[in-house]
Structure 1
Amino acid sequence: MKKFLGAFVLVLFFIFSQQVVSASSDGLEVSEVFYDFINDFFKDLNQVTVVNSAEEDITQQFIDFAHELYLEGDYKNIQSYIYENDLSISYTVITDIDVISGQDGESDFLTTDSTTMNIRSKNVSESFYKLATDTKDKFTKEWVVTLSGSYSYDSSTYRVTHTNSPVLRLTTANFGAAFSTYLQSITTSSSHSGSTATFRTSYTMMATLGVSIGDLPLGFTLNFGSHSHNFSNHPLQ
């Protein structure tokens, strides 16, 4: 029994010691989460976006840097570049909704001025990868959130006529068994102008310790920062 307990304690120590990751990119390890996300990202470079902490679009700059590394299978340097430059990378998934309406047509997306239009609709979602260190500078963790919305447009002019409020969900949080993760202070909104539908969100990434680690007690709450994302979509996209 003592041997079993000793082995169990060693296993727990190994698991939880792996949770403490250096804030330097040198301590990062390429996970399956990152591997899968980057593979999906490079499937269609027409549907990807990369922004820096100033919310400047640097998509082409990132592709120029990372594409050759991706072809070489060098995921480590891609991840380090994302972390060191505090980037948010994302890709879009689009699904057409089969809705056709005319003079007598009806649709949940129709507005009062669109009853004579041929209306089409799209479901759109954007998945965002984030890698950040908590405010205590103890742990560096990665996660993926997905912002999903829908909009309708006039198929003859491609003018967007309506957007629905989007929904944000935490798709994946690669934090380990010692953490319980959740999103806090979530806001979402949508808007449209001309042939563009835009969806926005902001949130704070939080985690609660399920065990004590180092000087942090059981139940301690960690803040991994406030984050904001947005994306736009066009009917012809």
Structure 2
Amino acid sequence: MKRKMNLDSISIILVRPKFHENIGSAARAMKNMGLNRLIVVNGCSPLHPSAYKLASGAEDILERAEEFFTLREAVSEMGCVVGTTSRGGKERYPLLTPETLAKKLIPLSLKNSIGLAFGSEKEGLTNQELYLCHLYVRIPSMESFPSLNLAQAVMVVCYELFQASIEIPKKPIQLAQAEQLERMFEHMEKTLIQLGFLDSNHHQKIMRAIRRLLVRSEMDEREVQILQGIWSEMDRHLRIGKKAE
């Protein structure tokens, strides 16, 4: 069975946030994506009216938020701490994308408490704070303007964590049978030769390319019938054209 992310093991840690609105927006992003533990380190209060205004339905996350004076205190009982950064370098290796981070955290989330630390709006995490982290994540963005709003960054990372926590059901596909495909390919080949698109003596290479293209699309019976209908209609017009000559 494919393992999934345990979102209950993950805490979002906002370090030195300066604006109540960002805390509220981050809480809303968390609730959208199934996360519920918020930690605020040495920042403005998560219980401010401006935070409530932007939380818009995620007030319960603000009310349960834990507050610490330092990041070290906040993560003291966590098994894995992830630091977000917009900068690279030898001290921040390996530097993961949110998607690869989510995949890496799946097995860790099953038996460990995990903290994702986001720095203040202007400075981000300090080198000392990043030193406390075990993994590093950077959200890909334009080099000329790489810094994201705090709540936006929280949403991007939480989205990838949420995706790793669910199984997206795929609708069962009844593929066309091999014999149906072969009849369709044979019909197509004859028609394309009659059209002059294929050289009757040197066309196998192009036909193999066309076969690969169509097989990759995983056609069902109805789709094969539609293509058969197209070739049949082409055949009819070719016969009409020959009679007119």
TM-score by length of 1: 0.21
Higher helix share: 2
Higher strand share: 1
For CA contacts below 8 A with separation 6 or more, give which structure has more relative contact order.
Answer: 2
